[in-house]
A = this chain, B = another copy of it.
Amino acid sequence: MDILNLPTYTIHLGDLRESAGDWLRRQNYPKVAVLVDENTEQHCLPVFLKKTGLADFHLIRIEAGEPHKNIGTCQTIWSRMMESGLDRRSLLINLGGGVIGDMGGFCAATFKRGMDFVQVPTTLLSQVDASVGGKLGIDFMQVKNSIGVFRDPAAVFIDPDFLKTLPYRELRSGFAEMIKHALIADEAQWQKMSRLQDLAGLDWSPYILHSLRIKQSIVEADPFERGIRKALNFGHTIGHAIEGHALESAHPLLHGEAIAVGMVAESYLSHRKLGLPLPDVEAIKAYLTRIYGAFTIEKSSYPDYLALMHQDKKNENGQILFSLIHPVGNAVVNVACEPEDIEAALDYFLM
């Protein structure tokens, strides 16, 4: 069992039998609800219940997927919480990926002005990305996470066992955030990861732990994203726009797949605006293309992407601000880029 102690809560990485079960018995919440979607109800809930011994709880089920991460689904969750008689002393367990964690956390943080919740992330992406930092929220008007709050969970329980049933595309999606952590903070880790050929058979625990430690050090330095925490947005300004746009299409992208595109384009922006050497950009592009394949964006969609980027939370005074890298392993935040820079970066991705 690996333990990461954050200022207000603890992340437990290892078998749930040795973590969540004891914790739940110790805390002894009068009422507990578990939030799932149809996938985690089938694949994760039986494992969770068996390992923790939790027997007495209210089940709240929502539909899986980013398109449901909206205020309508929040109303469903709040209604079920209300009907189940939850109060401020109750606990909500969010069992699932990023959508469940972000939205369930938001619903708990706003229900009766705030009740406890724990995160049990079941995808690689949510294990490395959503476990640290207390960012909660939903999508609104096509803009990712545009409504939300900062609030820490009571605890986080990460069990790599859940990754065994995860489709390869989902693993790959989480891997993108781990690559990002290396690119913004640890050049040696990037060199190590970029030699990984096969994600399928990997022992993920040490990689998850390394990623969590990077994210922890960044978030602790800047919990409310006033400065250096924006480093975590590398790849996300363009990536979120592509993800938001693809949401509406017949071929939605997973978060990490969109972020991989964003990292290629924003590495090129790092070259153009900061002087990141072109061979480094080429190496990033080559590796990410090998893992994520050749996803294509349409030049005709550039105006839509730019419109979405204008809604990015990091923006100030109407300027689109980027979190870039230079050199590899070091982040530079608040880099204002003009539409022509951004279009050049998208062109570079398409090259």
Q: Interface on A for B, CB 8 Å cutoff?
A: 30, 71, 74-75, 78-79, 82, 85, 87-89, 109-114, 135-137, 140-141, 143, 145-150, 224-225, 310-311, 313, 315-318
Q: Is the CB of A113 within 8 A of B316?
A: no
Q: Is the CB of A148 within 8 A of B110?
A: yes
| Most chain B beta-carbon neighbours within 10 Å: one of A88, A137, A147 | A147
Q: Is the CB of B146 within 8 A of A111?
A: yes
Q: Is the CB of A85 within 8 A of B148?
A: no
Partner of A113, one of B87, B110, B148: B148
Copies of this protein in the complex? 2
Q: Is the CB of B318 within 8 A of A110?
A: no
A110 to B146, CA, bound (A): 8
User: Which chain B residues border A135 with CB–CB below 8 Å?
Assistant: 113
Given known contacts A71-B71, A137-B113, A85 and B310 CB-to-CB distance under 8 angstroms: yes
Q: Is the CB of A82 within 8 A of B146?
A: yes
A316 to B88, CA, bound (A): 8
User: Which chain B residues border A113 with CB–CB below 8 Å?
Assistant: 135-137, 145, 148-150, 225, 313
Residue of B nearest to A85 (CB): B318
User: Which chain B residues border A318 with CB–CB below 8 Å?
Assistant: 85
User: Which chain B residues border A143 with CB–CB below 8 Å?
Assistant: 82
Residue of B nearest to A109 (CB): B149
Q: Is the CB of A82 within 8 A of B149?
A: no
Q: Is the CB of B75 within 8 A of A71?
A: yes
Q: Is the CB of B78 within 8 A of A317?
A: no
Given known contacts A88-B313, A113-B150, A140 and B30 CB-to-CB distance under 8 angstroms: no
